[in-house]
Structure 1
């Protein structure tokens, strides 16, 4: 089947996109036009304008965020330019010892009232709300007006060809030419307008970054406290108890050395075995804090050693040998360890492939297993914690895990290696 010329496809897709831009842009003016029509229908009296005006304001406020989101979605779909929303996120409400709920602004008697009050306050104090309202007024006279050229040309062509006069038919021909020539380009004004007026301001981006770092600091503090408690528990339950028993055995052997040398020798032998076991436990504990191979030989060799100790068949592929800052190496190493543990316990995988590469901005670690899939990042889970640890370094964790597998996890951290 013969394919249509490329300019025909470009004109058709451009016309559809231009109509979409016009439709989204004119939602705000449409609300006000409906309000004016309602006022006229009521008789255009001296005071009858108040209700339509109020409803138009409410409609504009209600539509501002959906319109902005639709613009961002269209621009991202058509051009690949992702414009962050920059909206402030409501934090979890907290129940105080008094029984009241604190939402960051006020105390409320119930959790429902706290959340409702919080949403209203966040919405009214969020600079992004006023940015969206501004965009509602700017979009129709910028992107909407330019994108309206092809539809207006088609309308002129239809009207012109429907009349028998030669002059009107010439107008119809001109409208058709304008529509066809402008269709591939008229919709493109949506991208610069959206980027200019919907992108968060530097102050808003900085405020969001401060909030993000504050939340990350709180998460890290909680994680560090939990890690310290784990270390204390391991020392108390294993190494410390064994060392105490070792001291008692040596004290008993010292007393029995003169009266019962054989029994003393047996106690010393058991104490020596206990000392070796305690040393092994301490080494495992230190390995859990910071593996020596990671400090001495770097991330690649540490991951290879981790793969050798794994009960799964694990293949490690590293196209480069690199040394990173110790905190980054530690985060990636324990990230791989977390993913391997998940593959064993939850995915029931038999094979894991680990790939470590460099791209233009940093290091990328891919972990793929042949398990049953269906992995999801749940709040408070290990993967959520891993994502938080990587976010401290502006890193990301992306997981693709369809039901039935395979599961692919990608950790990327922007950094410079040596």
Structure 2
């Protein structure tokens, strides 16, 4: 079969099948309403799942006609009536199914009837012209005015009216079918804005998973360095110290080498401790975020008040970011602000960790000069957080950071 004929055949089949389904879809909303009321709303999730199968079949037919690929939409429901109702209310796909029912009825009926008229005229005229003798005298007419009384007018009926119907089928039916298929996909597919929002949600979830895995890996590396590498360096430094004590006074160059090795081991230990603290502070694992923040404020040299609300369980990446943000903010306040009082407040409204650090210093933070605020913004941006800084000249300075922690 040639491509044009295949296209016309596919379009005709699509619309002629869609005509009875559009007629049946008229009953969908009443059936949903009656079933929901009769069952006390307990059967509505199952009825909506049936509607999902019905709409998904039409969606696949439309995609096949247009030659586009679509992702299947699962119709599974969770266990439990309350969970099923939450799925119905939260999942926009079910609302799209309801909107599609109305669009299918409104567009499927006229498009199907038009296809039936075109195909019926093309095929019916040929069949009727061959059976013209079966009809009563004068009942069969060409163009509704010329009676068919012989083979000449019968052949004219087949050629003229059949040709008109075939031409209409050839030109109009594929266009009607593609129009209806596009309407179907538009009703059942998310809009570009909704698709973008879904993609952003997927990326946010994947990034959260990556950050959690990254935090767990940092904790593992921190434990390995602390319990393994650092312990070995301590043992080496102790042995070198004992060896230095056992050397005679006239050891000469050997004593010098041992002293350099001993000092090098201690410097390596100091550098390793600093690396561990910058990777994942051990105090976070030992005392949690509240204890770690209390410890870092106590070491700033500025009187500080720490207020911590009910934080619940936080992702490791969020805890580490909050700790370093507080530490960097306090360091900036101690170095540049001349503050005599600092307040650190940690709260968790909804699914966001709110970090607020205020001081009574001189204010006037200028980020263009390369201040530590850039590092704070980068840490927050890595978690899709926001940073708000209010630092007028003369003070006070307030740094507010919101970190998503859902």
Q: Which TM bucket (shorter chain)?
A: 0.3 to 0.5
Normalising by structure 2, what TM-score? 0.38
Who wins on radius of gyration, i.e. which is larger?
Answer: 2
